[in-house]
Amino acid sequence: MPATSRNLTALLLAFSLAVLGLLGGALAWRVFEHSEPPATESLIVLPEPRIVADFDLRDQRGEPFSLQDLRGRWSVLFFGFTSCPDVCPNTLFQLHQVRSALLETLGPDEVPEIYLVSVDPERDTPDKLASYLEHFDPAFKGVTGDDAQLRALTLQLGAMYHVAPHDPGDTAYQVDHSASLMLLDPEGRLYGVLPAPHVVDHIIADLTEVLNNSGSG
């Protein structure tokens, strides 16, 4: 592995561990304050949902997508890209399994909306996002936008990505990204984080617990 790639991987790992450390500390504070956290398998719940500032992205239809589109129901955001060789397709398949299981006991409007937020807008056009997600679940939605808007959103949620420098027209460049799932509540606030590696049964149990306690939003 080239030194640059190793450095990027180490940076992503360090950043992810720092974020998880902060979330873990927040959870410990919540317990210390005698506030009973939800009984979850792997979901790290924030002491208080974090307000997310507005942003301006585009969905897989090329339509504007902002914070308002995340309000009204629970949402799961995954930051990745369609040319990802393994982590992204594996995670999306797991999320399809999660959604299918939740639909056995909940209505379509009660199940959290699943979003792939592409951090590779140069290659991931709206049409490509729509075609890619169709292979996993027709209900999945894709979102992307320019680098400034993407970074404004990822920094708020504790996610990170890096697009390797490349020449114009080069389509073989590398993209590194964190693999956590971000759970947002029906007000569009960051409620908690599901860190990788993901276990389908744990995600199902955690989302079911949260939805049951909240009345599904």
Query: pLDDT digit string (tens) for 14-51?
Result: 445 445 444 544 444 444 444 565 678 899 999 999 99
Please give the residue range of the domain that contains residue 80: 3-214
Q: Is 162 marked within a binding site? A: no
Q: Is 96 marked within a binding site? A: no
Domain harbouring 53, CATH code: 3.40.30.10
Total count of residues recorded for the chain: 217
Neighbours of 82 (CB within 10 A): 21
Confirm if 47 and 193 have CB atoms less than 8 A apart.
Answer: no
Strands of the sheet with 113-118, listed across from one edge: 44-50, 190-194, 181-184, 75-80, 113-118, 141-144, 57-59, 64-65
- pLDDT score of 177: 96
Instruction: Indicate if the pLDDT at residue 54 is higher than 50.
Output: yes
3-state secondary structure of 110: coil
- pLDDT score of 13: 46
Q: Is 135 marked within a binding site? A: no
Confirm if 139 and 112 have CB atoms less than 8 A apart.
Answer: no
* Average pLDDT in the chain: 87
- pLDDT score of 40: 87
- pLDDT score of 39: 76
How far apart are the C-alpha atoms of 201 and 41, rounded to whole Å? Answer: 9
How far apart are the C-alpha atoms of 69 and 121, rounded to whole Å? Answer: 20
- pLDDT score of 213: 87
Which residues on adjacent β-strands are paired with residue 183? 76, 192
Structural domain count, the chain: 1
Per-residue pLDDT of 187-197, as tens digits, reads 999 999 999 99
More confident residue, 176 or 40: 176
Per-residue pLDDT of 87-102, as tens digits, reads 999 999 999 999 999 9
5 pLDDT tier (thresholds 50, 70, 90): very low
Q: Which two tokens stand for residue 47?
A: 């002491």
As a whole number, mean pLDDT of residues 7-18 equals: 46
